[in-house]
Structure 1
Amino acid sequence: MKKLLSPASAVLEHRSLTLELAKRDVLGRYRGASFGLLWSLISPFLLLCVYTFSFGTVMGGRWPQIGAGQAHYSIILFAGMIVHGFLAECINRAPLLIVGNPNFVKRVIFPLDILPWPMVLSALFHMFMNLIVFIVLRMFMDHAFSWTIVLLPLVVCPLIVLALGISWFLASAGVFMRDISQVTGVLTMALLFLSSAMMPLKSVPDSYRWIFQLNPLTFIIDQAREVMLWGQMPDWKGLAIYLMVATVVAYLGHAWFTATRKGFADVL
């Protein structure tokens, strides 16, 4: 039974430590800043303004809902950015989880495999703050609110599992290949522009659409918009399949991390 729950067993056993690390991660990011935690609300808003100004006139016309007056491009874009921001934070920070905490590696009793959990919880906190901004902006700009937004945690759940699996892989690889942290920034940018965050999948030429469909963000972004904007039920079957694949990735990632952790101390 313990092997069956191996990716989650450490965090269940060290719940208090995981939550404390997540809290320290969130507060540490804004320590010393004049506006403190308010930056978790200000930053996504400023980023949204930049993207809307840069791409609004070009990409906006591709959304039929904009022409029908159902939503502003800013709101449609922000829904996709919320999902992308979560995965991007996990991918960009994962390679430095072990390298940035060498003191944890030297402590034999410290459960290194819980390190991705506080990072994911921190990313979820920022996702929640972005969601607050989204709700306020939509009520102000579109004068609308979809009750189906309460289903968003179920939509994002498979992505959380996938993020954990990827984080275990990258955390381990970051110890042995330091250049990975230089690549992840480009990777997350590619995940943004090659997903449905910027434009609807139907507007992509058929010859290139498969690239967008293979992007792990595209399906989740589309389902997130269904519940956040259009008031529709998500594709439960698709989410179930996604969750199964993500679970396999999580188990493989944790197994790889466990198998390679013996060499961390020697490299660091």
Structure 2
Amino acid sequence: MISKAKNYFKRNRNIVVQFVKRETASRYKGSYLGFLWSVLTPLLMLIVYTFVFGEIFQAKWHAESTNKLEYAVIIFAGLTTYNLFSEVVGRSPFLILSNTNYVKKVVFPLEVFPVIAVGSALVNAAINFVLIAIFTVIVNHTLHWTVILLPIVILPLLFFTLGVSWLLSALGVFLRDIGQVIAIVIQALMLLSPILYSVDTIPLKFRWFYYLNPITYFVGDIRNVMIWGKVPILSIFVLELLVSIIICVVGLFFFRKTKHGFADVM
């Protein structure tokens, strides 16, 4: 099935590329600075994080840390990782509903809409990752070689997000309230993931939940390779990848099984 899916999306990659370009361009259409906002927005947010957490709260990720920018960069890396997931998942219940004109076109591959959503979110995340790399050099006075592993460690996140998106985009057609439920879940999950704080600060009796939360591993892997120069533990990473691929395949299978009923309820 994976081989068939690979060939299917290879045939439709031009559609995906064109839609991603269109979505990226439409975000800033009509604005004076245009695509430059993709750089300015995360840069301004990083400045805000540095001021709030570094100056006001005097927050430190490690007790021995003396750099006020470090905490902001660590948080920014976590939020960038989580936002890639949450942006796609938040849109997923409405992906098919907002493209009803394509549903009745028998030849149009509806499966590409979640792929387009992931691609669009990945463009923004890529810009943020470049900024993280730049500010990591400022904080650590070096850029660890492990940063080259970023395209690899991000794969489980992409597979997981894509699988969840296929599942939710199909369910959103039949269960219209799921969009509101997902919006609440996304907000709660951000606070229940080690993004604004370290897993080490969580009481032992609650840590089991964080170790079951896949976001914990995605955020940890990206922080490790980009900021701390650590290589992810191979056994854990392979398990992440396998589970993410399984979720991706299950999501695609569910989408394909239910898509024939989309036109009947829209």
Instruction: Tell me the equivalent position of 2:200.
Output: 202
Counterpart mapping for 1:170-209 below 5 A = 170-209=168-207
1:62–1:199 Cα contact (<8 Å) kept? yes
Q: How much is the aligned-residue C-alpha RMSD, in angstroms? A: 2.0
Instruction: Tell me the equivalent position of 1:216.
Output: 214
Q: Distance in 1 between matches of 2:176 and 2:50?
A: 34
Instruction: Tell me the equivalent position of 1:99.
Output: 97
Candidates 97, 108, 117, aligned match of 1:119: 117
1:71–1:142 Cα contact (<8 Å) kept? no
2:2 matches 1:32? no
Instruction: Tell me the equivalent position of 1:61.
Output: 60
Instruction: Tell me the equivalent position of 2:83.
Output: 85
Paired AA for residue 9 in structure 1? N
1:7–1:250 Cα contact (<8 Å) kept? no
TM-score (structure 2 length as normaliser): 0.92
Q: Distance in 2 between matches of 1:59 and 1:93?
A: 35
Paired AA for residue 230 in structure 2? Q
Q: Distance in 2 between matches of 1:71 and 1:150?
A: 23
2:58–2:68 Cα contact (<8 Å) kept? no
Q: Distance in 2 between matches of 1:193 and 1:48?
A: 19
Paired AA for residue 179 in structure 2? S
Instruction: Tell me the equivalent position of 2:223.
Output: 225
Q: Percent identity?
A: 35
Candidates 156, 162, 165, aligned match of 2:160: 162
205-214 or 69-78: which moved more?
69-78
**Aligned-residue offset at 1:177:** 1.5
48-57 or 232-241: which moved more?
48-57
Candidates 7, 10, 13, aligned match of 2:11: 13
**Aligned-residue offset at 1:71:** 6.3
Q: Distance in 2 between matches of 1:167 and 1:88?
A: 10
Deviation digits for residues 214-250 of structure 1 (CA, Å, limit 9, x no counterpart): 2211111111111111112122221111111111111
27-36 or 247-256: which moved more?
27-36
Count of aligned pairs:
265
Q: 1:209 to 1:239 in 2, by over 3 A?
A: same
**Aligned-residue offset at 1:143:** 3.2
Q: 1:178 to 1:58 in 2, by over 3 A?
A: farther
2:53–2:72 Cα contact (<8 Å) kept? no
Q: Distance in 2 between matches of 1:51 and 1:71?
A: 9
1:60–1:66 Cα contact (<8 Å) kept? no
1:59–1:199 Cα contact (<8 Å) kept? no
Paired AA for residue 63 in structure 1? H
Paired AA for residue 161 in structure 1? F
**Aligned-residue offset at 1:187:** 1.8
Q: Distance in 2 between matches of 1:49 and 1:189?
A: 23
137-146 or 122-131: which moved more?
137-146
Instruction: Tell me the equivalent position of 2:247.
Output: 249
TM-score (structure 1 length as normaliser): 0.91
Gaps of 5+ in 1: none
Gaps of 5+ in 2: none
1:63–1:200 Cα contact (<8 Å) kept? no
Q: Distance in 2 between matches of 1:163 and 1:135?
A: 23
Counterpart mapping for 1:144-155 below 5 A = 144-155=142-153
127-136 or 83-92: which moved more?
127-136
**Aligned-residue offset at 1:55:** 4.8
